[in-house]
Amino acid sequence: MNVATETGNWRRILGSLTLAVLLEQLPWSGWALALRPDFVLVGVLFWTLHQPARISFGAAFFLGLLADFQDGAVFGQHAIAYVIGVYLVLFLRLRLLQFDPFRQAAQLFPILLTVQLVVLLVGWLAVNPPAGLAMLLPVLSSTALWYLIALFVRLWHGKGMQDRA
Amino acid sequence: MAMPGQLMFARRLGPTARLLIWLLVGVSCVVADVRYHALEGLRSGFSLLLQPARAAMRAPTDIAAELGGFFVRHRLLQKERDTLLIERAQLMVSVNAAQELARENTELRTLLQLQSRPGQQVVHAALLYQGHDWFAQRITLDQGGNAELRSGLPVVDASGLMGQVSRVYPGSSEVTLVSSPQQLTPVMVERTGQRGLAAGSGQGQMELRYMPAQTDIRAGDRLLTSGIDRVYPAGIPVARVSRVSRSQSSPYLRVESLPLAGLDRSRAVLVLIAEPQVATP
């Protein structure tokens, strides 16, 4: 791999993750907030799947701390959950890469659900019981977002991305 | 066989080992934050990092609102102006009455040789960001330590008490809303003067705790801040009682109420700065 594609990849990775963080800074409120997909989590898991040598635990942990700050939550709540999500993706990586976008999203659903349940559990243990189960809604929208991204990548690159990983 | 110096195995740790290490770091973060509040510096750092981004990302919606406002029909504006004029006339009457009362009040106070209450100083702030409200209901305002905010100050909007400043960063601050679980607000029932403690119960509701079963309270009663806590000035509307029910097992009434302030709607709020004084008898 030459230097040009390498920097290109880094640029693409950092660009997409920055975009994800910025999207979360939009003034979401009401239903849009309740249904907002976790852009950052989807971004991290996507790059963990396709570029595990570059984006994995460390980045996930840092971005998890950022997510904690955004919700005014305890530091570590999302960080722990994101790290577990990365682990699950690494564990299922070879399997996930074989699927078409729809099945891949279907396989991602339990992972995203696990991540959210870990957020719930850590918050429950560290602060107080959560207010309702509305916090599981973003799992659905994140899965849908994953499907759209996977579909886009498939259309853009053909089978791409996998051989370069 | 492997040559000397050549690696037979990957040098990196396996995923499981790395997971365990990061989990350990994560748990120590949680402990450091919950038990020792040791990570406030990191929070300030994140706020400095994200505040310009948030201000910038607010622009598209502001512009959309501006454009939407531009195309408001002339007729609608005229109607709005007429209602505002009427409202202004009514308010002028009450302002005159209030001035009269204030003058009388100061006279009486000098007569009784009491301290006069300090004037209330306010800081205007706008909603900058709202996070998920899964565990605590918080909003972020676009004013912070620069505007001499400090944690503990009450925050109000046009219709009632919003909450209390809980964290202050250089250019922004976090407000814990009154409906947030574990957030207590000392209140009194407007109709009877009965004092009580309102606690947030999440999902945009509040409950009045520890009201004995024979208390005179009914749905529709307004709850105001009682001012005995020296945090909130007395008389700010907090909530309206929505349902009162008696339970067999508990000696207390179950009083549910809805906050009056637009907790999830208000975009412009006021932070009250002056320290409320205990009313001298």
B118-171 pLDDT, tens digit per residue, is 566 788 888 888 888 788 888 999 888 888 888 889 999 888 899 999 999 988
Query: What is the tally of structural domains in chain B?
Result: 3
| Facing B174 at nearest CB: one of A33, A72, A120 | A72
CB contact under 8 A, B136 and A73: yes
At A73, which amino acid appears?
A
pLDDT in tens, B186-206: 999 999 989 999 999 877 889
Say if B64 falls within a structural domain: no
CB B185 within 8 Å of CB B178:
yes
Domain boundaries, chain A: 3-157
pLDDT over 90, % of chain A: 62
The whole-number pLDDT of residue A105 equals 94
Query: Minimal Cα–Cα distance from A165 to chain B, Å?
Result: 17
With b for 16 or more beta-carbon neighbours within 10 A and e for fewer, the B127-150 pattern comes to bbbbbbbbbbbbbbbbbbeebebe
Lowest mean pLDDT among A120-129, B68-77, B218-227, B248-257: B68-77
| Facing B22 at nearest CB: one of A21, A74, A83 | A83
Say if B10 falls within a structural domain: no
B23 and B49 fall within a common domain: yes
With a cut of 90, say whether residue B251 has pLDDT above it: no
pLDDT over 70, % of chain B: 91
Say if B224 falls within a structural domain: yes
Lowest mean pLDDT among A39-43, A61-65, A101-105, B246-250: B246-250
Residue ranges of A 68-127 with Cβ closer than 8 A to chain B? 69-77, 79-80, 83-84, 86-87, 90-91, 119-120, 122-123, 126-127
With a cut of 70, say whether residue B185 has pLDDT above it: yes
With b for 16 or more beta-carbon neighbours within 10 A and e for fewer, the B15-33 pattern comes to beebbeebbebbeebbebb
B245 and B209 fall within a common domain: yes
Instruction: Count each helix (H run) and each strand (E run) in chain A, helices first.
Output: 8, 0
Lowest mean pLDDT among A51-65, B51-65, B106-120, B225-239: B106-120
| Facing A123 at nearest CB: one of B43, B53, B135 | B135
The whole-number pLDDT of residue B128 equals 86
At B45, which amino acid appears?
G
CATH code of the domain containing B209: 2.40.10.340
**B162 is in which domain, residue-wise?**
120-281
Q: Does B25 touch chain A (CB under 8 A)?
A: yes
Q: Does A153 touch chain B (CB under 8 A)?
A: no
Say if B203 falls within a structural domain: yes
Say if B2 falls within a structural domain: no
Average pLDDT, chain B: 85
B102 and B150 fall within a common domain: no
**Rounded Cα gap, residues B38 and B280, in angstroms:** 39
Cross-strand bridge partners of residue B171: none
pLDDT in tens, A2-26: 444 556 688 999 999 999 999 998 8
Residue ranges of B 44-83 with Cβ closer than 8 A to chain A? 46-47, 50, 53-54, 56-58, 60-61
Query: Minimal Cα–Cα distance from A134 to chain B, Å?
Result: 8
With a cut of 80, say whether residue A157 has pLDDT above it: no
In sequence order, the 6+-apart residues with CB closer than 8 A to the CB of B158 are: B266
What's the pLDDT band for B10 if we cut at 50, 70, 90? low
With a cut of 50, say whether residue A132 has pLDDT above it: yes
Q: Which residues from chain A sit within 8 angstroms of residue B202, using beta carbons?
A: 131-132
With a cut of 80, say whether residue A80 has pLDDT above it: yes
Say if B131 falls within a structural domain: yes
What's the pLDDT band for B5 if we cut at 50, 70, 90? low
Residue where a domain terminates, one of B99, B116, B133: B116
Say if B187 falls within a structural domain: yes
* Residue A146 backbone dihedrals phi, psi, to 5 degrees: -60, -45
Say if B9 falls within a structural domain: no
The whole-number pLDDT of residue A2 equals 44
**Rounded Cα gap, residues B265 and A53, in angstroms:** 44
Query: A134: buried, middle or exposed (CB in 10 Å: 19+, 13-18, 0-12)?
Result: middle
B95 and B167 fall within a common domain: no
B49 and B124 fall within a common domain: no
CB contact under 8 A, A75 and B30: yes
CB contact under 8 A, A57 and B19: yes
CB contact under 8 A, A127 and B135: yes
pLDDT over 90, % of chain B: 34
A64 C-beta neighbours (distance < 10 Å), count: 30
